[in-house]
Amino acid sequence: MLIVFIKTSVITMLVFFVIRLMGKRQIGEMQPFEFVITLILAEVACLPMNDAAIPLYFGIVPVVVLAFLDVVITFIGRKSNVFRRITDGRSVLVIDDNGIIKANLAKMNMNVDDVLMSCRSCGYPDLSAVRYAVVEPNGKFSVIPKTSDPTKPKPDDFPLPLVRDGKISQKNFEYCGISEKQLKKALEEGGLTGVKEVLYMDVRQDGTVYVSPNKKPCYTCKIKLSGGYR
């Protein structure tokens, strides 16, 4: 029993020291390599604590090696931008002045719903208020608004998605009372011939439509709503 107590105490203090060495970060703020090291630490640290027959150094050696790797990689990353991009990755722009960047969504294995959810989490449910949206190397989603002091949209102004990835939300179209003629006119505003060319499209209660095409700049236009979303 005493052996288990000593093992647990030593490994716990060693892991605590290594985590402090890696810096005061939450899980969501860790770089990919730091997150991997943390997962492995949790695994190797448990081995000698769970089995009294396993020598203490079976836990100490892997923890020390992992700590050394983290220090070395962090040091090299400070000296080399190329190496840091390989280990940490780089920020990826998913929304710019032209709207949602479809090619970058594919790189990040994201879809339009992921972007909408992340923007809402940042307090920007209306994409027309977003100048840039960036996925950081640690996976955090950052939004830069079009104004330095943005006015948060009111609940009444919450945009209702109409098209995602070229697919129409028939339920939302019927709810808003938008006709095929109005849809066609809204698409023609941006030189589009069909919804297959639209990556994302939504509408607000005042009839303002935001359209982000696949290959053209985003734009807004006005239509008259005749359904419940008014």
pLDDT digits (tens, 9 = 90+) for 71-100: 888 888 877 878 877 777 788 999 998 899
pLDDT tens profile 132-142: 999 988 778 99
137 neighbors 90 (Cβ within 8 angstroms) = yes
pLDDT at 114: 92
For helices 57-79 and 81-88, angle between their N-to-C axes, nearest 10 degrees: 130
Rounded Cα–Cα distance for residues 158 and 153 (Å): 7
Let me know whether 142 and 194 are in one domain: yes
Rounded Cα–Cα distance for residues 199 and 208 (Å): 17
pLDDT at 196: 93
pLDDT at 84: 78
**Residue the block writes with tokens 């095409």:** 213
Domain final residue pick, 87, 111, 132: 87
- Token couple for 5: 């107590």
200 neighbors 188 (Cβ within 8 angstroms) = no
Let me know whether 118 and 8 are in one domain: no
pTM: 0.63
23-32, 39-48, 82-91, 136-145: the lowest-pLDDT one: 23-32
Let me know whether 102 and 8 are in one domain: no
| Tally of domains in the chain | 2
The CATH number of residue 184's host domain is: 3.30.240.20
Domain final residue pick, 64, 87, 110: 87
Let me know whether 70 and 174 are in one domain: no
Residue 1 has pLDDT above 90, yes or no: no
Rounded Cα–Cα distance for residues 56 and 41 (Å): 15
Let me know whether 121 and 213 are in one domain: yes
- Token couple for 119: 């923007």
Q: Would you list the DSSP string of 84-133?
A: HHHHH---EEEEETTEE-HHHHHHTT--HHHHHHHHHHTT---GGGEEEE
φ/ψ (deg, to 5) at 135: -95, 115
Distance between first and last Cα of the chain: 71
45 neighbors 54 (Cβ within 8 angstroms) = no
Rounded Cα–Cα distance for residues 56 and 49 (Å): 8
Let me know whether 46 and 126 are in one domain: no
pLDDT tens profile 109-167: 899 999 999 999 999 988 988 999 999 887 789 998 987 555 555 545 678 899 998 98
Residue 181 has pLDDT above 60, yes or no: yes
pLDDT at 56: 76
Let me know whether 64 and 108 are in one domain: no
Strand bridging mode 160-164 / 130-135: unpaired
Structural domain including 79 reads 2-87
Let me know whether 102 and 75 are in one domain: no
Strand bridging mode 141-145 / 92-96: unpaired
Whether residue 228 is contained in a domain is answered as: no
Let me know whether 31 and 137 are in one domain: no
Whether residue 227 is contained in a domain is answered as: no
Let me know whether 23 and 40 are in one domain: yes
224 neighbors 203 (Cβ within 8 angstroms) = no
Domain final residue pick, 35, 55, 87: 87
**Residue the block writes with tokens 């400070």:** 78
Whether residue 192 is contained in a domain is answered as: yes
- Token couple for 148: 């330095």
